[in-house]
Every structure is written in C-alpha cells, then in structure tokens.
C-alpha cells in the first residue's frame, strides 16, 4: 500500500504552478459527449479522477487521446450503453454522465453508488431537474434509469445551490426544446468554465456565475477547443502551506478573484500575501491571530479549504472557530490533528481550536481528499517524521503534489508500506 512520508520543519521557497481545476475537468470530460465532433480540452490535471472519467468515455466507445496536459475526445463513435458500477463507483463526479447522456440520447442507464465519507450527498436535486425537463427516473438499488421521449426546457428552482445539480441540469438542458431557467443556481467558477465550454460548442447559456442561469436549447453542438481554469482549491491549499512555512513561496497560475475569501481570512490572521495578476507570494509571519470561519457557497469561504485551513488555525494565538455548513461530516481530519498535538474540540458542525500548539509527526490516515491535504500540511510543520496512509485519496485531487512540494524544499516522498 502507498503512503506519504514527510520530514517536517522545512522552510519552503520557490514557485509552485497550479494545475487545472479538478472540479471543472470532471464535468468537462463527460460533457464532451454532447458534441457532434471532436473536442480538445487543455490544462486537464493528471489525477486519478480524470483518468477514471476518461475510462468511462472509452468504455462507451469514444476515442480518447490523453497527451500531457490536454485530452482530445471524439464522441462520434459512442454507443449509449449501461455504465456498470465497477467503473462508475470510482468517483462521485461520474454522475455528470447522467446529464450528458440524457441530454444527448434522452436515455441513460448507470450504476451510481451514493454516499461518501464527508456526507450523505444525495442527488435528489439532479433527478428533480431531469424530471422537470420531462424525463422519467427509475431507481433499483444503485441502478438509475433516466429516459425521456422529449426534453422540454422549463423553470427549475434548486432548494440548495448545488454545484453538481446546477451543472448536471445544464448538461441535460442544452439540447432540449425551449428555454430552461435554473433559479438559485450555484455560482462557483467551475460552473462558468463548463458553461463557457458548452457555449463554445454552440450552446446558448447566459447567467452562469449568477444565481439565475438561462439555457436556450439548440438542435446540435459542435466540437470545440477549451481550457480548464486553474484549480482554486489546489491554489488555496498551497497558499495555506506558504502561510505556515513559506519564505517567498510563489503560487503561480492563479485567478486571485477566486481566492478572495481565503486571502481576506489570511490577512485577518496577520498573514501578508503579495497578490499579482496571476500569482500570489506568501511569507510565514511571526504569529497568527485567531479567527472564525464559516463555510458557504461561492463566493463565501469554500468548504474544500475548511480542512486545510483548520491546520493553520492550530498555530493561531487564542481560540479560533470553524462552522461547516455544506457537508455533515467534514471533521474527520480532527482526531489525527489532535494525535499530532492540536487542541480541537468539535460539537456538531462546529469546531473550536485552541492555539498555538506545536505539532509532532506520527502515523495518520487520510480519510478523504481534503482531510488528506490537511494532514500533508500538518506534517510539513510538525516536528519529526509523519507517515500518511490511504494516500490514494490525496492523489485523486492534487496533481504531482510530491514533486511540487519537493521542488520548493519539502522533504516528502511516496513509500510502500505493507
Ligand atoms: C462539488 O460537490 C465538489 N465536487 C465538492 O468538492 C465541493 O465540496 C462541493 O461541490 C461544494 O462546493 C465536484 O465538483 C466534483 P453540492 P457536489 O451538490 O456537487 C447537498 C472536493 O473536495 N445536495 O454543491 O456534490 C449535498 O449533500 C469535493 O473537491 C443535496 O442535498 O456538492 C451537500 O450537503 C468534495 N441534494 C450540499 O448539497 C443534491 O441533489 C452541497 O452539495 C445535491 C446536493
């Protein structure tokens, strides 16, 4: 089994280049099905999640060519067949094949195992959107059959500003007859990236990035060339590392606007960052002020940075607080941070962090992607050696994390343990 070994206490300097956004790429790859010709997407991160989605496309008969940072998808030879559990269960984002196949062929049959470590994560809003467009949904255990004689645009209100449901309904609606309006839509930058992709194929989507998205159905979508936006969560993770152990640590290929909530919180803690047009430079300050964060939908503080940020709060002077409002079980990193010496108490969806507490390396386990990232950060500032097991969680969402950190002075390697 693979694990990550880190010798803590190093000062990191130099520059780290941020890769393409995982949470955009995992929607763009299935969305390529909607095109009637070849699609090229560049700046695709080389992570296991994008590999798994390319595997599903290949299973369906698409021609997929992966070259370093780009992927060329020819969907013209796709055969719309049932997607089995063994390939769809590898990642939750496989649910985007529902919207894409329904939108293109008016039918999709796939296994979609629900649940996830950070919460129940139902897809009721996705399915409600499909039904509003005229589809019939049949669920037998984990098998979803969604089919429609015709997809007709309509107004759809989302009870929760769900990222996945917003994108999946867009995918199902772009070739429907008439106009669809998604109200209370999620506003994340990844949604804008997907809408821009679909529009460059010939779709007619307006309002992406606001809470009201209009989709005028078109008869056909063409091939196109598109670029994945930089990953704001990867960038934020490295910015937090810079705040904790950086000396002129430069995070390159960033859209600073996408990180506004994090940068404001870092400033509130006394961390100065130099913000350029497409980069951020961070230096570790002499001390950190305690602050409180509450995770919100974009542009609020992102839930995906809550776990990495909690490590920073263990070094703040005083009592900090975290309120997680998006997922019901996103504190699984806490017992491991406490094992390393942190002083965190959680009650329900709130955590209270007393600091500063020196951290000491030991063996810990990655329970989910961002908890794993938090443990990498803790290990980088801990005294001595840390071993992080279940490293697959981390490699799902952080391209070349070992190489990127090694290049700026971290002592980190992937080892085999029995
Ligand atoms: C996306 O998940 C991201 N994943 C998550 O990133 C991110 O944390 C989340 O958005 C919020 O920003 C991808 O984009 C692949 P939601 P998604 O639908 O779309 C509930 C990471 O670490 N809900 O916005 O699944 C849901 O349970 C991952 O990169 C319903 O109740 O998130 C959650 O409590 C983790 N019914 C809340 O809404 C639904 O039909 C927000 O979920 C859909 C969602």
Question: What is residue 115's predicted lDDT score, i.e. its pLDDT?
Answer: 62
Domain ranges of the chain: 2-19+230-416, 22-227
7 within 8 A of 19, measured Cβ to Cβ: no
pLDDT digits (tens, 9 = 90+) for 239-297: 999 999 999 999 999 999 999 999 999 999 999 899 999 999 999 999 999 999 999 99
Lowest mean pLDDT of 113-117, 194-198, 284-288, name the range. Answer: 113-117
Q: How confident is the model at residue 120 (pLDDT cuts 50, 70, 90)?
A: confident
**CATH superfamily for domain 2-19+230-416:** Enolpyruvate transferase domain (3.65.10.10)
pLDDT digits (tens, 9 = 90+) for 137-191: 999 988 999 999 999 999 999 999 999 999 999 999 999 999 999 999 999 999 9
42 has catalytic annotation:
no
Nearest-angstrom CA–CA distance, 418 and 416: 7
Q: How confident is the model at residue 114 (pLDDT cuts 50, 70, 90)?
A: low
Nearest-angstrom CA–CA distance, 368 and 372: 6
Mutate-to-test residue for ligand 1 from 113, 162, 327, highest number of ligand atoms within 8 A of CB: 162
* Residue located nearest, by CA, to atom 27 of ligand 1: 121
Distance 117 CA to ligand 1 centre (A): 12
Strands 39-42 and 70-74: antiparallel
Mutate-to-test residue for ligand 1 from 23, 172, 301, 368, highest number of ligand atoms within 8 A of CB: 23
Q: Which residues pair with 301 in a beta bridge?
A: 295
Question: What is residue 198's predicted lDDT score, i.e. its pLDDT?
Answer: 98
Active-site residue, selected from the candidate residues 42, 116, 154, 224: 116
Dihedral sign, Cα of residue 99, residue 178, residue 209, residue 66? positive
Nearest-angstrom CA–CA distance, 298 and 53: 25
Atom of ligand 1 nearest to the CA of 23: 14
Judged against a pLDDT cut of 80, whether residue 113 lies above it is answered with no
Fold category of 22-227 in CATH: UDP-n-acetylglucosamine1-carboxyvinyl-transferase; Chain (3.65.10)
Mean pLDDT (whole number) for 390-411? 96
Atom of ligand 1 nearest to the CA of 125: 40
């Amino acid at each position: 089994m693979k694990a990550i070994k880190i010798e803590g206490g190093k000062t990191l300097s130099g520059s780290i280049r941020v890769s393409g956004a995982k949470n955009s790429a995992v929607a763009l790859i299935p969305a390529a099905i909607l095109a009637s010709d070849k699609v090229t997407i560049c700046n695709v991160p080389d992570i296991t999640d994008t590999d798994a989605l390319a595997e599903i496309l290949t299973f369906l008969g698409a021609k997929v060519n992966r070259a370093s940072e780009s992927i060329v998808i020819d969907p013209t030879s796709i055969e719309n067949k049932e997607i089995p559990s063994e390939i769809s269960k590898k990642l939750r984002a496989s649910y985007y094949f529902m919207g894409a196949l329904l939108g293109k062929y008016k039918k999709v049959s796939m296994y979609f195992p629900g649940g996830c470590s950070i919460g129940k994560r139902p897809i009721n809003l996705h399915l409600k959107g499909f039904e509003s467009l005229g589809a019939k949904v049949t669920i037998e255990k984990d098998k979803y059959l969604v089919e429609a004689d015709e997809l007709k645009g309509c107004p759809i209100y989302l009870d929760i500003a769900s990222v996945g449901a917003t994108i999946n309904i867009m995918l199902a609606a772009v070739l429907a007859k008439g106009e669809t309006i998604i109200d209370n839509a999620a506003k994340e930058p990844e949604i804008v990236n997907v809408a821009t992709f679909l529009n460059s194929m010939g779709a007619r989507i307006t309002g992406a990035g606001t809470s009201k998205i209009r989709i005028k159905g078109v008869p056909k979508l063409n091939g196109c060339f598109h670029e994945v936006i930089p990953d704001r969560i990867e960038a934020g993770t490295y910015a937090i590392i810079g705040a904790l152990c950086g000396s002129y640590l430069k995070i390159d290929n960033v859209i600073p606007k996408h990180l506004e909530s994090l940068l404001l919180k870092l400033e509130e803690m006394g961390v100065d960052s130099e913000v350029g047009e497409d980069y951020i430079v961070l230096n570790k300050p002499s001390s950190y002020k305690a602050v409180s964060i509450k995770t919100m939908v974009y542009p609020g503080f992102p839930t995906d940075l809550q776990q990495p940020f909690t490590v920073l709060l263990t070094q703040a002077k005083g009592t900090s607080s975290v309120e997680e409002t998006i997922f019901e079980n996103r504190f699984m990193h806490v017992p491991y941070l406490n094992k390393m010496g942190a002083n965190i108490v959680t009650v329900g969806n709130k955590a209270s962090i007393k600091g500063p507490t020196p951290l000491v390396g030991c063996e810990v386990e990655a329970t989910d992607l961002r908890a794993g990232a938090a443990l990498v950060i803790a290990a980088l500032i801990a005294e001595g050696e840390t071993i992080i097991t279940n490293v697959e969680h981390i490699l799902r969402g952080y391209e070349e994390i070992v190489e990127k950190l090694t290049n700026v002075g971290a002592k980190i390697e992937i080892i085999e343990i029995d």
